[in-house]
Structure 1
Amino acid sequence: MLTKPKILVVEDEIIVAVNLGQKLKKLGYDLVGITSSGEEAIQKAEENHPDLVLMDINIEGNLDGIQTAELLRNRFQTPVIYLTAYADENTLNRAKRTQPLGYIVKPFESDQLRSSIEVALYKNELEHRNRKNEESLKSTLNQMESGIITTDENGLVLFCNPVAEKIAGLSYAESIGLSLTKILKLEDSTSSSYTLPLSDVLISNQTIEKNGIFAVDGIGNKTAVSIQISPILNTEGKSSGSITVLRLGESDNTNQSYLKEIHHRIKNNLTVISSLLSMNASNLKDQETLDIFKDSQHRIQAVALLHEVLYENHDLSSISFDLYVRKLTDLLFEVYKVDRSKFKLVLDIQTPKIPSEMGMNCALIINELLTNSFKHGFKGRESGSILIRFSLNDEQYFLEVKDDGVGLSDDTIAQTRNSGSLGLSLVDSFVKLLRGKLKLENENGCKVTLSFPTRHET
């Protein structure tokens, strides 16, 4: 037997609400509740998970029907049909922004009610399937080894996968809505600018391929690629956009095999060291010593992560620093079992690529500072926030790590290397390797600022 669709009614006119509930039951729907306010509606939706909400626009409480519908869609993806006797243009425009599945004008008959509900449920099921298909397609494209960029009919970027992000040197968020020719800078083998023939593809509806091309990111790094640009055709056979496939140059195959072997051996060796530490830690009784062993394991994991990112980048000389920091912070949140819904992390990595050695030292500094935040800065706290900012200005790199925890003691700020903390002593050592300057402050928590030159004099 098919499950009856569950419907929640939000209506503050009790007679109208009861009459509506009776009609729904006669029509064969499962009435899971009648409420008169937005606050009650949200509580009922959380308890009963309705398939549809019939929502009066003007209801009791601090939330009107439109505000309630927006919360229901954002929090539970619950579809809504509005009930209204009348509405001015401004109210209707507000209602449209919440993407309702229909409007029913009071008073209404049972046939009108049934048809509106059935159409809404059908549209919601189609939207759900489309979302699943889009997620599945996006996941597939994200796993591909080639760069994938799609555009609309005007050449504006709709999607790009991680490989394309690396090649272009821009994140998906930075690329979306921009012209493809603006985010993808190309050169031929003579270093002359190469113009992507996007308009030709959209006009002719024909695929165009080009080999021996180099993609140049924002800081001048070049990646050898072959390009295939194809039109995306709609049901009428007309171009509704384009898909660009960037395949990494085949000339790098030998180097990539060698790089893969190096990567494999280093990761194996680091795993062996981490395992030895873990085996020895299992025999320890003293908690302080055990914590030292665990912190050492985490440092090894941070180094292993570096080699993983270097391998994914197909480059030993520079590192995708934004990717490395994202992966490192994900690892630390998992290791220290930090609830990401309560502890907010903001990453502002304005310079995506830096020399690999500098990137490793910076990342290990971040590793120590975040470890300190999770173990000490947020001790006893139920929520908090961390900011990591990295930028380049006048041949100086700037790294800022800030949390809103309890802060550092005045003694620690005054004398970092003799603070008695292995983590902060390591930070001081990494700063020396970078030939940088470190500043520690208590500013509604702990704020650490590092500056170091882009080039080291020999």
Structure 2
Amino acid sequence: MVEDEIIVAVNLGQKLKKLGYELVGITSSGEEAIQKAEENHPDLVLMDINIEGNLDGIETAEVLRNRFHTPVIYLTAYADESTLDRAKKTQPLGYIVKPFESDQLRSSIEVALYKNEIEQRSKQTEEKLKGALNQLGAGIVTTDENGFLLFMNPAAEKLTGCKYKDHLGKPVREILFFENETGDTIGSVVEEVLQSGLPKESGNIFLISKNGNNQEIRFQSSPILGAEEKLTGTFNILRTKEQHTSTTEKDTYLKEIHHRIKNNLTIISSIFSLRSGQADGESNDILRESQNRLRAVALLHEILYESKDLSSISFELYVKKLTDALFEIYQVDREKIRLELNIQEAKVKAEIGMNLALIINELITNSLKHGLADSESGLIRVHFTRKDEMLTLDVSDSGKGLPEDSIRKRSPNSLGLSLVESLAKQIDGKIDFLNQQGARIRLTFPVSV
């Protein structure tokens, strides 16, 4: 606390103690406050504006913010307009007007501490993001909603021939000049995005650099949307022709890998199919179930091969293709056995999708082989939903239900439970086996996995 009136300081100190706060020091001057802050690293400083010494409260607060990142709440009985304007520039977390009650003091401190925590987290996230963007080979430029420069990474500095520190807060059109192949000047792509609110990508165009090192590039500009979908700026990527070609070649190579894996798995599945025709009883069942698992994995690679996004898949499409294949393998009469799909989460990571598909494969296989084997009619449900930060896969049927012994002992022979539980653990999932008018298996796992 920085307060030069001793009676006020003592009274305030008593209030703080009653409210459960630890007071690490009381000073009456700015110089002493800076020294104590360096020694004690307080979470918050209560600062009177009019204090003793060469520094007033506002000047002291500025030193504390710049040197130690220490948040401040101003204590003041009165202040003219010019003083308040000076105080605002130090970015205080609040003002308390003297005299004040304990409740007002507590609420002001709690709000200030919370705001400071949020601001510090935001700054840490921003610094991590800037660090990551600075490592990229592609040029990155961001602007505010008026087209003024907010950020530019070293790669963008090199491409444009402009220094970030020299152009911060200036119109981005001063550093981004483009020409087409015929030498005609191209209008500002960034301004088009700001006006339309829609992303825009150029073909191959030429960036006119300040250092005369003009390059053929591809330019992408995307709107940044804040609260309530309000446009707050743009995020822009500049890739040289070589970088764009390299990215395209990598995507093509990955697609080819997925294609080869899918083909190899299909061949192995076909071998299993041939061998199953020569086997009897339990051996035949084991071969067919192994074949189905291989088919589930091959199907994932088939979808990735046909997709533009190689890191995630359309889960609804995946589940539909998988269940259709299983119904065909077990020659299900769809007039008698119905399938109900409710997939609310459209996209999942490819590696998560594989685990979920293998689980679905096991559970539907169990339903078709055991739960609904002798039924004249029945229903299989596959629901995939999200609530807050948790995802839930719910698979159920209207059949006989799970044998209580297999639920209690987790017998791997009855349901492939060992595989299901192992796949669930790999995605930090919790799995419940239930009997509710048939078999029901519910898997919950975090979105962040």
TM-score range, shorter chain: 0.5 to 0.7
CA apart distance, 1:123:
0.7
Q: Which moved more, 1:64-73 or 1:188-197?
A: 188-197
Aligned to 1:123: 115
Aligned to 1:202: 194
1:238–1:39 distance in 2 versus 1, CA, 3 Å: closer
2:136 equivalent to 1:144: yes
Letter in 2 for 1:138: K
CA apart distance, 1:92:
1.2
Aligned to 2:64: 72
Alignment counterpart, residue 95 of structure 1, candidates 77, 87, 94:
87
Alpha-carbon separation, structure 2, partners of 1:216 and 1:202? 22
Aligned to 1:52: 44
Letter in 1 for 2:80: D
Alpha-carbon separation, structure 2, partners of 1:251 and 1:34? 59
Alpha-carbon separation, structure 1, partners of 2:210 and 2:119? 38
4+ aligned runs moved over 4 Å, structure 1: 251-254
Letter in 2 for 1:96: K
2:276 equivalent to 1:246: no
TM-score by length of 1: 0.52
5+ long unaligned stretches in structure 1? 1-8, 255-458
CA apart distance, 1:231:
0.9
Alpha-carbon separation, structure 2, partners of 1:219 and 1:30? 57
Aligned to 1:221: 213
TM-score by length of 2: 0.53
Alpha-carbon separation, structure 1, partners of 2:244 and 2:99? 71
- Helix, strand or coil for the counterpart of 1:122? helix
User: Counterparts in 2 of 1:77-88, with a 5 A limit?
Assistant: 77-88=69-80
CA apart distance, 1:200:
2.5
CA apart distance, 1:192:
2.4
User: Counterparts in 2 of 1:359-370, with a 5 A limit?
Assistant: none
Report percent identity of matched pairs.
Answer: 65
- Helix, strand or coil for the counterpart of 2:24? strand
Alpha-carbon separation, structure 1, partners of 2:69 and 2:27? 19
CA displacement 1:259-306 (0-9 Å, x = unmatched): xxxxxxxxxxxxxxxxxxxxxxxxxxxxxxxxxxxxxxxxxxxxxxxx
1:59–1:122 distance in 2 versus 1, CA, 3 Å: same
CA displacement 1:100-124 (0-9 Å, x = unmatched): 1111111111111111100110111
Quick check: 1:205–1:238 contact (8 Å CA) kept in 2? no
Alignment counterpart, residue 132 of structure 1, candidates 124, 133, 137:
124
Alpha-carbon separation, structure 1, partners of 2:244 and 2:230? 37
Aligned to 1:188: 180
Letter in 1 for 2:29: S
- Helix, strand or coil for the counterpart of 2:23? strand
- Helix, strand or coil for the counterpart of 1:32? coil
Quick check: 1:24–1:31 contact (8 Å CA) kept in 2? yes
Count matched residues. Answer: 246
Which of the two has higher C-alpha Rg?
Answer: 2
- Helix, strand or coil for the counterpart of 2:169? coil
Quick check: 2:198–2:222 contact (8 Å CA) kept in 1? yes
Alignment counterpart, residue 37 of structure 1, candidates 29, 37, 62:
29
Quick check: 1:232–1:240 contact (8 Å CA) kept in 2? yes
Quick check: 2:160–2:211 contact (8 Å CA) kept in 1? no
Letter in 2 for 1:181: R
